[in-house]
Amino acid sequence: MNLAQKLSTSCLLLIVVCCFSCKKDKLVTNVKFLGHKGAGSNFFNDDHMENTIPSFAQAIETLDGVETDVAMSLDGTIWMYHNQDVNDYACDEAPERFIPAMRDEELEQVMLCHESKKDRVYKFAELVAFWESRGKSFYISLDVKPTFPSWVFELAGGRSNYYDRFAASLASLPTSADGTEKIFLEFDSPRFLSQLKLQEKTQKMVRYYTGDGGMEAHIATALARGYDGVSVEGIKATAEEVQKAKAAGLKVQLWTPYFRDELRPVVAKDPDFIHTDNIHAKKALNIAK
């Protein structure tokens, strides 16, 4: 073998070793990552207001889906907003305002401000339309807000009536049932979730039990009430408990690790999904595509 051949062989071996090393360092996992409130108003990304279409669009560039918070207006429209009181991010000053006690016309006038950012409150129908325009290629997890003051639910005819109408409104949004298994609901109401099973377009949506207590309590309640999975704060679940839930046929969502050193132990527990505000989570963990 002449010098040129030796150099060529050495270079080839070096390339193979480097490629093997890069591949070896990559983390291989089946865990999916969802952008908590989309992407925005946090340390890692402050380009957009949270729970807005621009924030969702940015989140799915690097993550597998999004998480958002939903409540229904007096007109039966589902809106996306995290906090209980709309005034928490409203640009104007006004008495406390809760989505279930507001008309669509009022909500359409609300502008949201945070530092230099300004946007509006979005309807969940807009996220559904965006999801369908992207081929239903990403996951959506819905946190259904249950903790409004009692008088708010009285305006809607009581809690039961509110959530019955909520389920019917949700069922009217997708154009078809195809792909709706990628839409999740986090909530504690067997009545509400059973209503979803009665509608063709919501039958395949995944129902997660979320409530007080640790993982063991979540598993027991989810199995007793017929939920499809559990949604728990990451620090409240051990790897053994996650595997116990999965062995029982339950899906597992854990939330909300943020920095890399918080993400690592949660990923190691091997849940199905992780909610995070860090849109760079997969890159930070060097996850293989």
Predicted model pTM:
0.90
Give the dihedral of Cα atoms 59, 65, 71, 76; nearest 10 deg. Answer: 110
List, in order of start, the domains of the chain with CATH numbers: 29-85+122-284 (3.20.20.190)
Contacts of residue 7, Cβ cutoff 8 Å, sequence gap at least 6:
none
CB 208 within 8 A of CB 230: yes
Of all residues in the chain, what percent carry a pLDDT higher than 70?
A: 89
Residue 29 has pLDDT above 70, yes or no: yes
Tens-digit pLDDT profile for residues 100-152:
999 999 999 999 998 889 999 999 999 999 999 999 999 999 999 999 999 99
| Residues β-bridged to residue 72 | 78
Q: Residue 202: helix, strand or coil by DSSP?
A: helix
Residue where the block lists tokens 């008309």 = 103
Residue 9 has pLDDT above 70, yes or no: no
Distance CA 243, CA 166 (A): 33
The reported pLDDT for the residue numbered 1 is 54
CB 127 within 8 A of CB 116: no
Residue 40 has pLDDT above 80, yes or no: no
The reported pLDDT for the residue numbered 47 is 87
Residue 14 has pLDDT above 70, yes or no: no
Distance CA 244, CA 221 (A): 14
Residue 130 structure tokens: 């965006």
Q: What is the mean pLDDT of residues 182-206?
A: 94
Distance CA 39, CA 45 (A): 7
Window from 8-12, 103-107, 231-235, 268-272 with minimum mean pLDDT: 8-12
Residue 197 has pLDDT above 80, yes or no: yes
Comparing CA positions, the residue from 225, 153, 217 lying closest to residue 191 is: 225
Window from 14-23, 85-94, 153-162 with minimum mean pLDDT: 14-23
The angle formed by the CA atoms of residues 140, 174 and 48, to the nearest 5 degrees, is 40
Contacts of residue 235, Cβ cutoff 8 Å, sequence gap at least 6:
none
Contacts of residue 250, Cβ cutoff 8 Å, sequence gap at least 6:
219, 222, 223, 227, 228, 229, 230
